[in-house]
Structure 1
Amino acid sequence: MSTRRTVLSALSAGVLAASGLAVATATPVWAAETSPVGFASLNGGTPGGSTSTVVTVTTASALKSALSSGTSQTVRVSGLITISGMYSVASNKTVIGVGSGSGITGGGLNLSGVKNVRIRNLVFRNAADDSINVQEGSTNIWIDHNDLSNGYDGLIDIKRGSDYITVSWNRLHNHDKSMLLGHSDDNGSQDIGKLRVTYKHNWFEGTGQRHPRVRFANPVHVLNNYYGNIGSYGVASTENAGVFVERNYFENVGSPTVTQTGDSAQGNVKVLNNYKVNSGTEQVRNGASVAAIPYSYTPQANNTVKATVVAGAGTGKI
């Protein structure tokens, strides 16, 4: 599996630490994946845009044109580009930042009815709406190693029957409503059986709520994320959703999981081996009704998650 590397016995922990990798007590060293694990690896996978057709953009107009083009391609974003509104992203695209400070400010990306998109290594700042909005049955989306903050609404919202998505190694900070999964209690006809998402190795740094906030989806896999100083709650499951919250690290989180929020009906939560520091008890409801995770994976030991995620999440790490 791509998240595991063999550590030779001759290598010392000090050498590994100097290279920015966190060392567990066993042999796996957790590092950036070159392809998505979790739900985005299913349904044909998410290879992204062509690696032989590459365009580098430095202006808003060039970015808008490249993102909406029908060509399968890799779009390299160089510098922090100011945009207005939501820019549409077409199918078969890899959108990737150059270095650690490239991305967009003032607006966001809209993925509507598209397939096979990678969004990686981008800074998102000060969006007037959502920073990343995935909707209308979009499938096979990988959102990985981004740094998101100070948006108006959601940082990463997934809704309206979208499916087979992995959200991994992102750093979210200076924001309240982080990640919505399913936008409305009235949208079950489109969402039931869809909205299957893996949230893995993300860093929620002092954010308020929705990490994620789930409606209808079953299963949703929340694996090996680090939650630090969360204002309201960690993970919410509502509208009979099924969420498996596994081996996460909760620090200063009063409510790691809740089974109801807002006006929504209750959802289901199953928990396994979460690590808690100065944090409350997880709420669990009807854990047996959370569907089995349909892919193979290797979980990280819960007590090592914080160091790994702090070292590896965000931009400049791939």
Structure 2
Amino acid sequence: MSALPKPTLGGTRRRTVIAALSATVLAVGAAQVIGPANAYAAESSPVGFASLNGGTTGGSTSTVVTVTSASALKTALSSSTSQTVKVSGLITISGMYSVASNKTVLGVGSSSGITGGGLNLSGVKNVIIRNLVFKNAADDSINVQSSTTNVWIDHNDLSNGYDGLIDIKRGSDYITVSWNHLHDHDKSMLLGHSDDNAAEDTGHLRVTYVHNWFDGTNQRHPRVRFANPVHVLNNYYSNVGSYGVASTENAGVYVERNYFENVANPTVTQTGDSDAGNIKVLNNYKVNSGTEQVRNGASVAAIPYSYTPEANTSVKATVTAGAGTGKI
């Protein structure tokens, strides 16, 4: 990846690098490099916007609770204790479970997670959600709202929810969405609540989307209102139905070095009833895909962190090898 932020947590960030394909890896500031020798790398702390504003560290690693039932999960997630909540097995829940501040929610193995419901982050701070399967949610799979800040959503497998897989709205900020595999779904990722929510959302909703795999999904990868800038970097879009990235309501989205394969509309500047937004594109790689849509005179704010992007041609190999569960 390119200019992704330098670590904000103490010490040099290390990665667990799993060799497989000969794919280009990415450099995060001076400390992190994903180079041609490895298929992918799993960060130990977030890159992009979640590394700013004091950083995102999640819950205490010395206070760990492992849950195997819906009741235990609900209690652990809502606890005021800073802790790591390990989810063991696929737990069936009903509705949305609230997640308190200072939590790391971590799946055990590659098939642990949540089915039937989702997680709600509302007005909280410093949450990490990693290595979880989310499927068959009756509403959203992950809902981030009400000025929630510093969230890292990483290496999850999300599919077949009723509404959004990862929705971020209502003034939330400083969030990174990385290495997730999204499939078998329509409306993937909303950023910005509604067209009449400018007062709450303008100046917020700063999100980095990096190394995600949108696999046969239909729309909202993401669908953005008001936010500026939003960074969409080094993602792989395969067989996407309606469109890839949508910018509306004067948002500013930087769509950089992604890999679009079989995507008729990689980017659009208007969708639904929303007014148009702004998109800046740079060096996206397209296979059997249409031309990106942009607006003349578009205004997209500068990305406020340093990063080194991965070459666009290697993104497919890197992301398909590294996205989803069981890779951290």
Whether TM exceeds 0.5 here: the answer is: yes
Q: Which has the higher contact order (CA 8 A, sep 6+)?
A: 2
**TM-score with structure 1 length normalisation?**
0.94
What is the rounded CA distance, in whole Å, between the counterparts of 2:14 and 2:145 in structure 1?
Answer: 35
Q: Which amino acid aligns with 2:199?
A: S
How many residues are paired up?
Answer: 308
1:316 aligned partner: 326
Please say if residues 92 and 115 of structure 2, whose CA atoms lie closer than 8 Å, have aligned partners that are also in contact: yes
Please say if residues 25 and 318 of structure 2, whose CA atoms lie closer than 8 Å, have aligned partners that are also in contact: no
Change (3 A) 1:4 1:62: closer
Counterpart of 1:130 (choices 140, 150, 166) is 140
Q: Which amino acid aligns with 1:64?
A: K
2:203 aligned partner: 193
Please say if residues 24 and 315 of structure 2, whose CA atoms lie closer than 8 Å, have aligned partners that are also in contact: no
| TM-superposed deviation, 1:298 | 1.3
| TM-superposed deviation, 1:285 | 1.2
Does residue 234 in structure 1 map to residue 244 in structure 2?
yes
What is the rounded CA distance, in whole Å, between the counterparts of 1:227 and 1:62 in structure 2?
Answer: 37
* 1:256-313 Cα deviation digits (max 9, x unpaired): 0000000000000000000000000000114651000000111000000000000000
Please say if residues 270 and 287 of structure 1, whose CA atoms lie closer than 8 Å, have aligned partners that are also in contact: no
**TM-score with structure 2 length normalisation?**
0.91
Please say if residues 193 and 217 of structure 1, whose CA atoms lie closer than 8 Å, have aligned partners that are also in contact: yes
What is the rounded CA distance, in whole Å, between the counterparts of 1:92 and 1:5 in structure 2?
Answer: 22
* 1:177-197 Cα deviation digits (max 9, x unpaired): 000000200000000000000
What is the rounded CA distance, in whole Å, between the counterparts of 1:155 and 1:285 in structure 2?
Answer: 28
What is the rounded CA distance, in whole Å, between the counterparts of 1:139 and 1:84 in structure 2?
Answer: 25
2:220 aligned partner: 210
Please say if residues 25 and 41 of structure 2, whose CA atoms lie closer than 8 Å, have aligned partners that are also in contact: no
Q: Which amino acid aligns with 2:319?
A: V
What is the rounded CA distance, in whole Å, between the counterparts of 1:4 and 1:66 in structure 2?
Answer: 28
SS in 1 for 2:42: coil
Point out where structure 1 has 5 or more consecutive residues left out of the alignment: 7-15
Does residue 274 in structure 1 map to residue 284 in structure 2?
yes
What is the rounded CA distance, in whole Å, between the counterparts of 1:183 and 1:286 in structure 2?
Answer: 26
Does residue 62 in structure 1 map to residue 102 in structure 2?
no
Please give the root-mean-square deviation of Cα atoms over the aligned residues, in Å. Answer: 1.9
1:9 aligned partner: none
Does residue 80 in structure 1 map to residue 90 in structure 2?
yes
Point out where structure 2 has 5 or more consecutive residues left out of the alignment: 1-5, 27-33
Question: How high is the sequence identity, in percent, across the aligned residues?
Answer: 83
1:12 aligned partner: none
SS in 2 for 1:299: coil
Change (3 A) 1:32 1:244: same
1:20 aligned partner: 20
What is the rounded CA distance, in whole Å, between the counterparts of 1:67 and 1:224 in structure 2?
Answer: 31
Mean Cα displacement is larger for which, 20-29 or 77-86?
20-29
What is the rounded CA distance, in whole Å, between the counterparts of 1:98 and 1:216 in structure 2?
Answer: 37
* 1:222-254 Cα deviation digits (max 9, x unpaired): 000000000000000000000000000000000
Please say if residues 21 and 31 of structure 1, whose CA atoms lie closer than 8 Å, have aligned partners that are also in contact: no
Does residue 246 in structure 1 map to residue 253 in structure 2?
no
